[in-house]
Amino acid sequence: MIKAVVFDVDGVLIDSNETIIQAYEKTAEKRGLRIPSPQEIIDLMGRPLVEIVRILWPNVNVELFTKDFRRLFMDEDLVVPAIKGAVEIVKEIRESGLRIGAISGKIMFFIERHLKEAGFNINWFEAVVSFETTKKHKPDPEPLLYAINRLGVQPTEAVYVGDSISDYECAKNAEVEYVAVLTGSLNREDLKKLKVKNVIDSVAALPDLLRNTLARGQIDEPH
């Protein structure tokens, strides 16, 4: 029986991918670094900022880059809207009695700020896991298992909703049922290659999946 839903934030609850890509590009340009292609950035989404920076620019001063990157979000007041229907769906799921958590590779300040600005009530989320919360990060299972523990449920009683390869691997490593949305970094063909069967267009379709397929036990076994 499903008792909790844990959401990735970027690309699942908030439509932030384009904003994030622009932030990486502008920061790289400011620091005179190679500007990566959008696809290079998309392929790394879901990982912590510092890890992405080290992969894209191995010789860069990570601390200075991350300061500039975060300052860009602050100074330019970049708008990060909610995925269409996501606010209403999260509220509906919360009111149905399920417990809700959120995971992101961002620092807590930006998670809370972006969720609030997008229209979410931060109190709906009983567990919020940020970059600072755990020592290990996605695709390691630690962030997801931490959230599930905070929600007081077992891995078999939870669903993780994500949009990236690191989300999929995190759920797989934690042996938690995974649901992929198409509003983020992966398309249906990508997910087919990964053999992900629970695929929905957006979180707007999640309640039906929870009521129908998942409620009847017709779910993917952890791979």
Q: What is the dihedral of CA 92, 95, 96, 97, to 10 degrees?
A: 140
Nearest to 127 by CA among 3, 1, 213: 3
Interval 76-121: pLDDT, tens: 767 789 999 999 999 999 999 999 999 999 999 999 999 999 999 9
**pLDDT for residue 222 is more than 50:** no
The residue type found at 165 is: I
Classify domain 4-15+81-214 by CATH number: 3.40.50.1000
Interval 19-72: pLDDT, tens: 889 999 999 999 999 999 999 998 898 889 999 999 999 999 999 999 999 988
What are the boundaries of each domain within the chain? 4-15+81-214, 17-75
Q: Return d(Cα 82, Cα 98) in angstroms, integer.
A: 21
Interval 134-165: pLDDT, tens: 999 999 999 999 999 999 999 999 999 999 99
Q: Rounded mean pLDDT of 175-184?
A: 96
pTM of the model: 0.88
Q: Return d(Cα 92, Cα 213) in angstroms, integer.
A: 18
In CATH, which of 1.10.720, 3.40.630, 1.20.5, 1.10.150 is domain 17-75?
1.10.150
Helix, strand, or coil (residue 162)? strand
